[in-house]
């Protein structure tokens, strides 16, 4: 069984383009930089987490798909990244078929959870990057997780999506995983020159308790958008950028929440 001290966190929002993968990649790297051992699992068929960490996703023999559907040993699918303390299980477009194939499995919501419990190495954190949907893949991620980080882009429709997200987390809690927590909502792509950014934050804060919102706000920073094309997290691509600083602050919030 996996060590009880491992904290497993899913990054989810059914909307695409809100900063899930950017946050999963860079928080993983910032936690690793802080000396934590981290496994990042790419659970989106788009494979952006994999390419963002420099993995050639089309030439990897084993991906998370082979693990959950092909019954491959999870330990054999782990790759090292260029970042010290940071390992990854990649994914690619093959995973898009898993949605249907999972339906035929017994205990289909708990497949990822069972596989993670078979890990040999004990990680401090396991970070799961979810697809932009509330699908069976995302439910598998929620079933395997202790908590969920919900990235919210500072734009007009943010609140609508957030309510749906929170309803889903509540449903999972009631029916399937009662210990699933909200690690926090994190605002991404904040632009101080744009009034809307501030309004969206105020809007969310008026309906969500502060303890469920990270204090760190991720600014819009072009370096964060550039880094993935070099296969590097921001902490390595531009170590002093505002983006790198923000993700280090977010990592220290996550660490202190888990008393580390």
Choose the stretch contacting Mg ion; rule: CB under 5 A; options: 21-29, 35-43, 97-105, 160-168.
21-29
Sign of CA dihedral 236, 237, 241, 244: negative
Nearer to ligand ADP, 50 or 221 (CB): 221
Residues of this chain, 145-204, that bind ligand ADP according to CB under 6 A: 188-189
Nearer to ligand ADP, 119 or 126 (CB): 126
Nearer to Mg ion, 119 or 126 (CB): 126
CB-count burial class (<10 Å; 0-12, 13-18, 19+) for 26: buried
Calculate the alpha carbon distances from 152 to 11, 22, 120, 175 in Å.
11, 12, 34, 25
Binding Mg ion (rule: CB under 5 A), the pick from 13, 23, 26, 48 is 48
Q: How far apart are CA 222 and CA 132, in angstroms?
A: 22
Binding Mg ion (rule: CB under 5 A), the pick from 20, 57, 220, 248 is 20
Q: How far apart are CA 55 and CA 62, in angstroms?
A: 12
CA triple 250-232-52, angle to 5 deg? 85
Binding Mg ion (rule: CB under 5 A), the pick from 21, 111, 216, 235 is 21
Binding ligand ADP (rule: CB under 6 A), the pick from 36, 221, 235, 241 is 221
Any contact of residue 40 with ligand ADP (CB under 6 A)?
Answer: no
């Amino acid at each position: 069984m996996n060590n009880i001290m491992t904290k497993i966190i899913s990054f989810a929002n059914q909307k695409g383009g809100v900063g899930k993968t950017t946050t999963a990649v860079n928080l993983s790297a910032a936690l690793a930089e802080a000396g934590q051992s981290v496994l990042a699992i790419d659970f989106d068929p788009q494979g952006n987490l994999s390419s963002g960490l420099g993995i050639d996703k089309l030439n990897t023999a084993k991906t998370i798909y082979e693990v959950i559907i092909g019954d491959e040993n999870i330990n054999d699918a782990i790759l090292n990244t260029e970042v010290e303390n940071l390992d990854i299980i990649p994914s690619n477009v093959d995973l898009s078929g898993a949605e249907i194939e999972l339906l035929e499995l017994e205990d289909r919501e708990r497949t990822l959870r069972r596989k993670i419990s078979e890990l040999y190495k004990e990680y401090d954190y396991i970070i799961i990057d979810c697809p932009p949907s509330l699908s069976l893949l995302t439910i598998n991620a929620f079933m395997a997780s202790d908590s969920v980080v919900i990235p919210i882009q500072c734009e007009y429709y943010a609140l609508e999506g957030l309510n749906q997200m929170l309803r889903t987390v509540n449903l999972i809690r009631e029916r399937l995983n009662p210990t699933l927590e909200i690690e926090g909502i994190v605002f991404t792509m904040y632009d101080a020159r744009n009034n809307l950014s501030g309004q969206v934050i105020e809007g969310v804060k008026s309906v969500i308790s502060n303890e469920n919102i990270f204090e760190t706000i991720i600014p819009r920073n072009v370096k964060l958008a550039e880094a993935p094309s070099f296969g590097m997290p921001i902490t390595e691509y531009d170590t002093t950028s505002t983006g790198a600083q923000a993700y280090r602050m977010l990592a220290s919030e996550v660490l202190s929440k888990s008393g580390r």
